[in-house]
Structure 1
C-alpha cells in the first residue's frame, strides 16, 4: 500500500470531533467551579481545594484507566468516559450540597483520565509513524481550542440559567462526544502485530490476553502495569523526569500570568486580555509544531519548547507594565504552543505493543504528577520568599526540563520501518505504512 494512501482526513471527525467537544465541556465549567462551591457554602480555601479535585481525580485514575482501556478497547473507553463525564456534570448542576458537588468534580477528573488515555492510545495505533507527531499535535491543539471556546459557549446559557447552565453545556457537549465516539472506526490489527486487550480485535468485551500473532497461535499473558513498569523502568526514570518537568512548567505558567498581572497593578480586563492572547498564540501553531517533529525529530521541538518557556518565565519578574507582561506572555504561549502534543508523541514513541495502554497510563501519571507539583512549588517558594522567586524557580524547572529532554530524547527523526524497541521504542502504525510519503 503506498504511503500516500493514508490521510488524516479519513479519521478526522471520529478522532478529533470527540476531543473538541470534550475540551469544550471541560472548558465550559472551569471558570465557575469555584463560584459554585462558594454558593454551596465553601470558604475560599475549600473552593480552591474543590478546583484541584479534577486534577486529583485524573491522577488517581490514570493506572485504573489502563484496565478499562485494555478490557474494552479504545473506542468503548472513549464512549464510557464521555458518558461518565456527562453524568458528572449533570450531577454538579443539580447538586444541593457541597460534598455531592465535590464528588461530581472528582468524577470529571476521573473521566478525563480515561478519555485522555484512550484517545492517545487510539491515535498511536491508527496513525502511521511518519504522521504520528502531526496527529498527536493536532489532537492537543484541538483539545485546547475546545477548552478555549468552552467559557464562551457557556456564557450565554449562564446569562439565562445561572451558573448551573455551564454544567448543562458541559453535559450536553460530553454526551455529543460520546455519540461521535460511537463512530470511531475499530482498530484493525493485522497478523504479526500484538496488542493487549483491544477487545479481541478492537471490539468491546474481548479477552485480556493478547494474541501475539507469532504464527503459532499461542496466547501470551496480557502485560500488567507492574510488568510494564519493570521492563520500561529506565525510560520512566530518565525521560519520564523530563515529562514531569514539562507538565510542571505548563501548569505553573497558567497561574503566574494572572498573579504577576495583579502584582504590578493591572486590572482584571487587562489581565484577561493578556492571558487570552497568550492562549491564542498557543493554539495557532500546533500543526507546524507537529510537522517539525515528524520532519526533524522530537528533540528539535521538545528542547526549544522548554527553553522558550523558561526564558519567558525568567523575564517576567523584570516587567512592570502591561506591554512588558504581554510580550513575555506571548513568548511563553509560543513556547508552549510549539510543544503541543510533545508529551503524547514521546509517550507513543516509547510505548510497547502489547502493553501500550499500561505504558501510557504510567506516562500520564508522571505528567499529572508534574501538573500538581508545579503550582505547589510556585506556592511554596512564593510563601517562603516572594512571587518573583517563585516564578524564578519555575523558570529553573524549565531549564532542567530542557537539559533532561536534550539528554534523553533520541536525536534525529524516527527511523521509519525499524523494529519495535529500537531507537525510540516504537512500532509501525497498524493501519498505514510505516514510511514517509515520497
Structure 2
C-alpha cells in the first residue's frame, strides 16, 4: 500500500515541510521589515508554535467529523490564504494573524495525516511507515531554508520565498483533492482492512457515538495520556532544545555564524540519514529499542555538554555533543507518532491524537521558555544540564510505561 500510494501518502507532507521550511526562518526578517524590534520579531516567529499547540484539540474534533482528506484540503487552503496574508501584510497585526492561521493549519494537517496512518497502516510495519512520514517532513524542513536562500539570492526579496510557500500549498491542495485516495481505492478493490490497524491492548472498541467529544476522550484516556504523554513531551522538548541550545552554545563560545550553521547542519544531516533506521528498529525489536537510546543519547549529551563550556577544547566538545544529539534525534524519527498510534483508541483515534499531540507540542513550546528562564537566572550551562536531566527522567518514564501500554516488543 505504501509503495502504491506513496505520492498521496507522503507527497503532501513533503510539500508542507518544504513550504514551512522556506517561510519560518524568514518570518523575523519580514516582521523587522514591517518595523518590528527584536522582541516583536521573536514574538511573531513564536506565534506559529503557539498556534500548533492550540490547534491540536479542534483539529481532532474536525478530523473525527469530516475525515482526514477533507481536513487536509481545508487546512492546506487556509494555510495558503495565510501565505497570501504574509505576502500582503501592511502591518505587524495582519502578519501575526496570518502566522497564527498557518500554525493552526499545520496542526490540523499533521493530525489528519497521523490519524489516517494510525487506522490504515498494519501494525507490523507501522513504525517504518510513520518514520518515513516523519522523514518526509524533515526533508522538507531541511531543504526549505536552502531553497529560500537561493530564491533570495536570485530575487533579492523575501517575497520570493513567500511565493514559494504559496506555490507549495497550492500544489498540496491539488494533490489532496485530485490524487487517488488510498482508502477509497482499497475499499473499491475489496482490500481495505475490516478493522482499524491498532494493536494497543487498552484501546477502546470502535466508537459507536460519532459525536463523542475531544474533552470526553481526553478524560476517558487520562491515565495513558498522563503516563505516556509526559515522557513523550520530554522527548519533544529535547528535540526543540536542539534547535535553540546548539546555536546559543556556539554563540557563547564565540564561534562565527558560518561555523555554527555548519555544526547545526551536520546534526540535521545525521537526523535525516537515520530516519528510516528508527522505524526498522521499532518494528523489529520494539518501541523501547528506539525511544530509550534516543532519550539517553540526547539527554546525556546535553548533561555532558554542560561541563565543557570552559574547557580548553570546548569547541571540539561542542561538535562531539552536537553529533551525539543528531544521532539521538535521528533515532527518534517517528517515535511520537508511532507511540500515539499504538495507544490510540481503535475506532476513533483523531480526538485522542489531538490530546496526544497537544501534550507533545506543549513540551516543545515550554522548552525555549525554560531555557531562557534558567539562563537569565543562572547560566546557559545550567540550563543545558536541566534540559538533559529532564530528558533522562523522560527515559525512565518510557522504560516504565511503554511495556505496560505497548507490550509488543517483537513482531
Common fold, TM-score beyond 0.5? yes
Q: What is aligned with 2:78? A: 84
CA distance in 2, matches of 1:370, 1:68: 23
Q: What is aligned with 1:144? A: 138
Query: What are the Cα deviations for residues 100-147 of structure 1, in whole angstroms up to 9, with x where unaligned?
Result: 011111111001100110011111122111010000011111101100
Alignment partner of 1:410: what SS? helix
Aligned length: 392
- Structure 1 residues 59, 413: CA separation in 2 closer, same or farther (over 3 Å shift)? closer
Of 153, 158, 162, 2:157 maps to 162
CA distance in 1, matches of 2:193, 2:277: 34
Q: What is aligned with 1:383? A: 376
Query: What are the Cα deviations for residues 193-224 of structure 1, in whole angstroms up to 9, with x where unaligned?
Result: 479xxxxxxxxxxxxxxx969xxxxx644322
Question: 2:166 matched to 1:171?
Answer: yes
CA distance in 1, matches of 2:150, 2:246: 26
Query: What are the Cα deviations for residues 30-77 of structure 1, in whole angstroms up to 9, with x where unaligned?
Result: 211111111111111111111110011111111111122122211111
- Structure 1 residues 184, 370: CA separation in 2 closer, same or farther (over 3 Å shift)? farther
Q: What is aligned with 2:399? A: 406
Contact 1:37/1:50, CA 8 A, preserved across alignment: yes
Q: What is aligned with 1:17? A: 11
Of 328, 345, 350, 2:343 maps to 350
> TM-score, normalised on structure 2?
0.91
Q: What is aligned with 1:338? A: 331
CA distance in 1, matches of 2:152, 2:255: 27
Aligned ranges for residues 25-424 of structure 1 at < 5 Å? 25-159=19-153, 160-182=155-177, 183-187=179-183, 193=195, 220-317=209-306, 318-319=308-309, 320-410=313-403, 415=408
CA distance in 2, matches of 1:411, 1:8: 29
Give the 4+ runs in structure 1 shifted more than 3 A. Answer: 188-195, 219-222, 319-322, 411-415
CA distance in 2, matches of 1:84, 1:46: 24
Alignment partner of 1:409: what SS? helix
CA distance in 2, matches of 1:181, 1:271: 38
CA distance in 2, matches of 1:236, 1:357: 14
The alignment's C-alpha RMSD in Å is 2.2
CA distance in 2, matches of 1:221, 1:84: 26
CA distance in 2, matches of 1:220, 1:74: 18
Alignment partner of 2:71: what SS? helix
Shift of 1:362: 0.3
Structure 2: unaligned runs, 5 residues or longer: 198-204
Shift of 1:413: 7.8
Contact 2:119/2:196, CA 8 A, preserved across alignment: no
Contact 1:57/1:109, CA 8 A, preserved across alignment: yes
CA distance in 2, matches of 1:99, 1:235: 40
Contact 2:120/2:196, CA 8 A, preserved across alignment: no
Larger mean CA deviation between 185-194 and 318-327 belongs to 185-194
- Structure 1 residues 162, 135: CA separation in 2 closer, same or farther (over 3 Å shift)? same
CA distance in 2, matches of 1:327, 1:100: 43
CA distance in 1, matches of 2:399, 2:78: 39
Q: What is aligned with 1:419? A: none
Contact 1:25/1:171, CA 8 A, preserved across alignment: yes
Contact 2:302/2:387, CA 8 A, preserved across alignment: yes
**Structure with greater proportional helix content:** 2
Structure 1: unaligned runs, 5 residues or longer: 1-6, 196-210, 214-218, 416-423, 425-434
CA distance in 2, matches of 1:299, 1:128: 19
Shift of 1:411: 7.1
Alignment partner of 1:9: what SS? coil
CA distance in 2, matches of 1:300, 1:330: 20
